[in-house]
């Protein structure tokens, strides 16, 4: 089954990815072999994962999460639905006068 996952890197950045084999992919990240971002920021810890029924759905969710702010990702990781909801509200641009 496809997965979307979030890793917390050693420098406290967050990395979002998708895979068909979560355990294997996380091991590759931990060895520094999976991506340039994570290999330069070891160690990494899995902090969130979601299982999907199709690879297309997992890729779509990965793209969505990559567009989120770090604050919004942290709310998701913490399961803080109230903060997640408030962060999801679109900011309206100030009108010019």
Question: Is residue 94 in some structural domain?
Answer: no
Q: What's the CA gap between 47 and 10, in Å, rounded?
A: 12
For residue 96, the model assigns a pLDDT of 63
Q: What's the CA gap between 20 and 40, in Å, rounded?
A: 23
pTM: 0.88
Question: Is residue 80 in some structural domain?
Answer: yes
Question: Is residue 95 in some structural domain?
Answer: no
**Which class for 91: exposed (0-12), middle (13-18), buried (19 or more C-beta within 10 A)?**
exposed
DSSP 6-27: EEEETTS-EEEEEES-HHHHHH
Q: What is the pLDDT of residues 16-41, one digit of tens each?
A: 999 999 999 999 999 999 999 999 99
For residue 95, the model assigns a pLDDT of 63
Is the pLDDT at 4 greater than 70, yes or no? yes
Question: Is residue 37 in some structural domain?
Answer: yes
Q: What is the pLDDT of residues 69-80, one digit of tens each?
A: 999 999 999 999
Question: Is residue 10 in some structural domain?
Answer: yes
Supply the CATH number for residue 35's domain.
3.40.1440.10
Q: Which comes out higher in pLDDT, residue 55 or 97?
A: 55
Q: What's the CA gap between 4 and 32, in Å, rounded?
A: 19
- Number of domains within the chain: 1
């Amino acid at each position: 089954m496809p997965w979307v996952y979030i890793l917390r890197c050693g420098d406290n950045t967050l990395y979002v990815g998708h895979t068909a084999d979560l355990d294997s992919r996380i091991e590759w990240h931990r060895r520094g072999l999976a991506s340039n971002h994570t290999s330069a920021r070891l160690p990494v810890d899995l902090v969130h994962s979601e299982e999907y029924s199709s690879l297309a759905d997992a890729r779509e969710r990965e793209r969505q999460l990559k567009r989120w702010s770090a604050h919004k990702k942290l709310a998701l990781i913490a399961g803080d639905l109230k903060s997640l909801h408030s962060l999801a509200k679109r900011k309206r641009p100030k009108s010019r006068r």
